[in-house]
Amino acid sequence: MSWYYYMALRKRVGVHLVTHARNREPITRRLDGRVEGITFIDSDAVHRPLLKMVRMLGARNGKGWTMISAAHTLAFYWFERLALREFGPRVARGEFDIVHRLTPLSTATPSSVIHRWRAPVVLGPLNGGLPWPPGFENVRTKEREWLSPFRRLTRHLPGWRRTFRVASCVISGSVDAWKQLEGVAAGKHVYLPRNGVDTGAFADSERPGRDASRPLEVVFVGRLVPYKGADVMLEACAGLMRAGRVRVTIAGKGPQMEELKGVVERLGVGGAVVFRGDVPHAELPGLYAASDVFVMPSIREFGGAVVLEAMSCGVPVVVADYGGPGELATPEVGCLVPLTTRAALVEGVREAVEGLEGDRGRLVEMGRAARRRAVEVFDWDAKAGQLVGVYEWVAGGCRGVPSQPVGPVRGAGVGSEASR
């Protein structure tokens, strides 16, 4: 994600990217070997042993993300010190006006060297730590997230409060992150969702199911793991599929694949469900173009890039109104289902899909609004403009409010300092 910010920002301001050495090969390939303005830092001497340790503790096969995040946090201390060693003197000489720490995205990661940069430091957009919703403890167990209930204790890590006290600006990438940080970032706090999308690559097109005589084409795109809610989507659409009113395509792979095939067999909807497996990114625009509605009732989603991809293609979305998707989407671009119990989520998704299937004209209206919101707010060029607004605000001493960032959002309850 930092790559997309960098590519968009360099069209507007002078920017130097500092990234891990593991990114050298893909970046060099994308830029045809022209990597001026990029520095690669190798911190694997610390990073690799930590990742090996958390894998031994069960963080593998797409599960145990809190443990993986903890390993990245510890490794980042070393990466940041190497970055300071390389760039501290240049910053002190005035070669750079602002130091922007885009990663790690976690609100739990303090900086051990933030006070040593001789320039204003911007942190974020920060995310992470979204609580598991009550009533879904069984899903948390399946995801091996035994560490997540203790995550908020990270605010007692050495240097955590100092990090946000010293920072010139703190960008929260979600409402939950805002709430975590509002007590330590007052007066320099901005709300700006982290995710973006290349709206040029994901273009709008006519949907097949706008012809009411055809079944509604529903698509799910994502890793097949319990918290993403593919099983919820299947149960919600089962009656409509058996009635021939809906067809479902599931794109993605993961450890829940066989379980989901069992759900399809149990529900008796095998003829209406297609498992596409892992779809190459270049083929996703065509997948969305063949769909009428994107459904992903994820119960704990920090961001939701696939939601923005669907919106960019003019596809209305049905998501759980919790975490990232509930902030990216609005009632104008789709249906936001309240997250209370699993049974209520299934019923809410069923009602949303049934309502859209019965009103194809509403699909057209929502699709246009979805594309418009993706372009105006979440296109990477728009995101770069929002960040430049933050930089100008910081350079001006954080007086007034920044000119570009988004917020507050529907139901966010975030402070007016994030408003335009």
pLDDT greater than 70 at residue 150:
no
| pTM for the whole structure | 0.87
Residue that is written with structure tokens 């993986």 in the block:
68
**Cis peptide bond upstream of 193, omega within 30:** no
- Region 152-178: what's the mean pLDDT? 86
Cα dist from 54 to 145, 152, 398, whole Å: 12, 19, 40
Q: Is residue 201 part of a domain?
A: no
- Region 311-316: what's the mean pLDDT? 96
Of 255 and 62, the one with more pLDDT? 255
Of 23 and 51, the one with more pLDDT? 23
Cα dihedral 197→96→407→314 (10° resolution): -10
Cα of 273 vs its chain's centroid, Å: 27
Structure confidence at residue 402 (pLDDT): 75
The pLDDT tens digits of the residues spanning 266-290 come to 999 999 999 999 999 999 999 999 9
pLDDT greater than 90 at residue 145:
no
On whether both 370 and 385 belong to a single domain, the answer is no
Of 7 and 109, the one with more pLDDT? 7
User: Which residues span the domain enclosing 175?
Assistant: 2-196+380-415
Structure confidence at residue 157 (pLDDT): 75
pLDDT greater than 60 at residue 416:
no
On whether both 9 and 142 belong to a single domain, the answer is yes
On whether both 30 and 55 belong to a single domain, the answer is yes
The pLDDT tens digits of the residues spanning 225-256 come to 999 999 999 999 999 999 999 999 999 999 99
Structure confidence at residue 105 (pLDDT): 83
- Region 133-160: what's the mean pLDDT? 69
The pLDDT tens digits of the residues spanning 327-370 come to 999 999 999 999 999 999 999 999 999 999 999 989 999 999 99
- The C-alpha R_g of the chain, in whole angstroms, comes to 22
On whether both 37 and 105 belong to a single domain, the answer is yes
On whether both 322 and 268 belong to a single domain, the answer is yes
- Show the tokens assigned to 350: 């069923």
Q: Is residue 68 part of a domain?
A: yes
Structure confidence at residue 72 (pLDDT): 67
The pLDDT tens digits of the residues spanning 111-121 come to 989 999 999 99
- Cα–Cα dist 317/222, whole Å: 14
Residue that is written with structure tokens 């890039």 in the block:
305
- Predicted confidence band at 203 (pLDDT cuts at 50, 70, 90)? confident
Question: Which of 379-418 are b and which e, b meaning 16 or more Cβ less than 10 Å from the residue's Cβ?
Answer: bbbbbbbbbbbbbebbeeebeebbebbbbbbeebebbebb
Q: What is the CATH number of the domain that holds 269?
A: 3.40.50.2000
Q: What is the CATH number of the domain that holds 87?
A: 3.40.50
Q: How many domains does the chain have?
A: 2
In this structure, are residues 274 and 248 in contact, taking their beta carbons and an 8 Å threshold?
A: yes
Q: Is residue 302 part of a domain?
A: yes
